[in-house]
Amino acid sequence: MLEEFARQWRAADPARRGAPAQDLTPRQIVTLASMIQREARSAGEMPLIASVYYNRLARRMKLQCDATVHYALGDVWERKLTYADLEVDSPYNTYRHEGLPPGPIANPGRAALEAALRPAETDYLYYVYAGGDQHIFSATWREHQRAVRAARRRE
C-alpha cells in the first residue's frame, strides 16, 4: 500500500504546486487530499472542493468537512451526520477546530492529490451535496442557503 501511495504521489507531481499549496507541508497536502477524496463524488469536483478548503483556510474559517467528523467518530462514511455528531470532541472535528486535522483521514488517490496540489481558482466558500455525483458550490452564505434548500428538495 505504501508503494502504491508513493507512486500516486510522484504521479501527482508535487513539484508543480499551485500557489495556495506553496504554504503547506507534504503531510498537510496529503491530509487535505484525504479530505477531498472522502468528500468528492467525482474526480471532476475535486479541484472545486480543494478550492473551497483553501479559500476557507485563507480566511481562517473552520473547514466544516463532514468526512473528518465521520473519521473522528470511527463511523460509517455514508451515514448522515446529526447535530450531536458535529459536537464530538476530537482534533479531527473540523466543525470545532480551525485548520486542517492532525493527519490524513483516508488514503487519497492521484486525482485528490492533484486537486490538493493545484486547486481550481474560485471564490467558493461552501458546497452542499445535491445527489448523484454532484455538489452545488457557492461563494456567499446567501447563495449557500439557496443551494441547501434546492438540495433538500431533490432528496
- The average pLDDT across 20-36 equals 91
Q: What is the pLDDT of residues 48-100, one digit of tens each?
A: 999 999 999 999 999 999 999 999 999 767 788 999 999 999 999 999 999 99
C-alpha cell at 43: 474526480
> What is the amino acid identity at position 68?
T
pTM of structure: 0.90
Q: How would residue 7 be classed by pLDDT, with cut points 50, 70 and 90?
A: confident
- The average pLDDT across 113-140 equals 95
pLDDT at 42 over 70: yes
- Are 52 and 35 spatial neighbours (Cβ–Cβ below 8 Å)? no
pLDDT at 139 over 90: yes
Give, in degrees to the nearest 5, the angle at Cα 122 between 100 and 103: 15
